[in-house]
Every structure is written in C-alpha cells, then in structure tokens.
Amino acid sequence: MFNDIIKDRDVEQMDDNELLSLIDKERLPRHVAFIMDGNGRWARERFLPRIAGHQEGIESVREIIKVSIELGIKALTFYAFSIENWRRPEVEVNALMRLLEKYLQSELKEMMENNIRFQTIGRIKELPESARRWIEKAAHETRDNKKLILNMALSYGGRAEITDAAKLLANDLKDNKISMEEITEEFFAKYLNTHGLPDPDLMIRTSGESRISNFLLWQLAYTELHFTKTLWPDFRRREMLLAIIDYQRRERRFGLTGEQVNRR
C-alpha cells in the first residue's frame, strides 16, 4: 500500500516537508554508500579550479550526514579517494590530502557531539603520515559513539580489498589457524575491510555515470543502485530524500519471487 501511494504521486513537484512525510521510517536503508562524482565538472562549469569542487563537495557530505541522523540511518560509506586516484596530478592529490586533514580537524568535535563513529576502509598506510595521524585520532576518539557510522573509503579499490582478504585467508590456512571446511561466503567476509558493517542497502552515484567503478565489489551484490545526474556538490537534503523514496519504491527479493516476499 505504501509503495502504491508513492508511485501515484509526482514526488519531483513536492517540497522537502512533503517528501519527508512520504518516507517510511520502518523501511530505511541501514547502510547507504556514495560514489561522490562530479566535483571537477561542477568547478569547471563555474570556471573555478578543480579543488573548489572538492571543497564544495565537503558541504554535501556534511548535509548528508545531518539528514541521515535526522532519518535514523545507521551507516554511511563515502568513496573519498580510490586507488586509481593516485594517478591524478600531484597538485590535486596533495590538495585532496590537505582537505581530508582539514575536514577531520574541523569535524571531530561535531562527531563527538552527534555520537558519530568515524572509521575508514582501504590501504590507509599509503596515505601521507599527517593524514594518517588525523585518521587515527578521529577513529580513536569516536570509537565508542553509536548513533551513526561514518565510513570513509580512502586509497580504496574493491579488487584490491578482495585480493588483500584472499592473502590474509591464505596465510591463516598456511598457518593452520583455519581449515578449508570453515570457508564460506560469510566466513570470507570477515577478512574484508567492511567486517562488522552491514552490506549497503543503497548505493548512490552522482553526476550521471552508471557504473560502480571498483567500489565495494563484494558488498554490492544485492544493493539497490540509484544513479542521478546531479553533481555531487549539488547533492543535498532534497536529493537524499528523493533517493530514499526511490529506494522504498523497490521490492527487494534477494532471489525470492514477489509472492514469497509478500508472504514474509
């Protein structure tokens, strides 16, 4: 019935309060992941340096965290810096690392006030030492916070994560710490960076691209995908509400038939 109500109404014409009233708080995604695409294009359209797009994109991160807390979403993962991003011009990479440090310095107090736990996935050892220090500080100081998990993917790639997990598993097999019979999908997942996090229920990619770009390849197996033409610096509260409504329109079957899902 709830899905029928949403389908019959033109959500694009609604204001934010009307959109919020349509969201079923009992059917929220637990974990939402983001590919934050379009920062450079946003800056180029305004004849600004690329770093200006990244700076404005941080404002979108802040607003998405705020609305997620308001709704009651429990975990967010932001694809902040991929392994492939190391191939970008050195001046841009250095600027992104400084932005990361500045963000953590400025937001740590708010993380504590809002009960947010900060953590990361990816090959963090590849980041500059100063960035690693701030990551470790934020993770340590927020480790007991429970309202929202803020997970940043840094120097991250899905294939690299699976490869690293396979190496760890192989070492444990070699050292007789585990047996071949123990290895299941659930057991293998314990070796992934995201161990302890639920798989994303929803993945949002901005800027009009329709691919997952080596992001959470294992974890996105049954994730609902939402692609929007909105550039990341313009992705704010309203866009997030529309994405949640789009998610709640869908029937998540996990291999079952629609009739089986409706009987559950």
pLDDT value at residue 167: 98
Q: CATH code for 26-157+200-250?
A: 3.40.1180.10
Percent of the chain at pLDDT above 90?
88
Residue matched to tokens 């700076």: 55
Residue 2 has pLDDT above 50, yes or no: no
Point out the catalytic residue in the list 37, 151, 193, 199: 37
The secondary structure of 102-119 as a DSSP string is HHHHHHHHHHHHTTEEEE
**What phi and psi values does residue 139 have, to the nearest 5 degrees?**
-65, -40
Residue type, 123: R
Between residues 95 and 263, the one the model is more confident about: 95
DSSP 3-state of 43: helix
In the predicted model, what is the mean pLDDT of residues 138-148? 98
In the predicted model, what is the mean pLDDT of residues 174-180? 97
Q: Please, what's the largest Cα pairwise distance for the chain?
A: 61
- Residue 37 appears among annotated catalytic residues: yes
81 exposure class (CB count in 10 Å sphere: 0-12, 13-18, 19+): buried
Residue matched to tokens 């492939």: 84
Residue 257 has pLDDT above 70, yes or no: no
**What phi and psi values does residue 29 have, to the nearest 5 degrees?**
-65, 135
Domain residue extents for the chain: 26-157+200-250
**pLDDT tens digits along 23-40:** 999 999 999 999 999 999
159: tokens are 């294939």
Between residues 5 and 105, the one the model is more confident about: 105
**pLDDT tens digits along 64-92:** 999 999 999 999 999 999 999 999 999 99
pLDDT class of 251 with cuts at 50, 70, 90: confident
pLDDT class of 13 with cuts at 50, 70, 90: confident
**pLDDT tens digits along 180-220:** 999 999 999 999 999 999 999 999 999 999 999 999 999 99
Residue 233 has pLDDT above 70, yes or no: yes
Are 60 and 34 in contact by the 8 Å Cβ rule? The answer is no
Q: What is the pTM of this model?
A: 0.91
pLDDT value at residue 1: 37
Point out the catalytic residue in the list 4, 17, 85, 164: 85
Residue 113 has pLDDT above 60, yes or no: yes
Looking at beta carbons, which pairs linking 58-63 to residues 24 or more positions away fall under 8 Å? 58/99, 58/103, 59/233, 60/36, 60/232, 60/233, 60/234, 60/235, 60/236, 61/36, 61/103, 62/107, 63/236, 63/237, 63/240
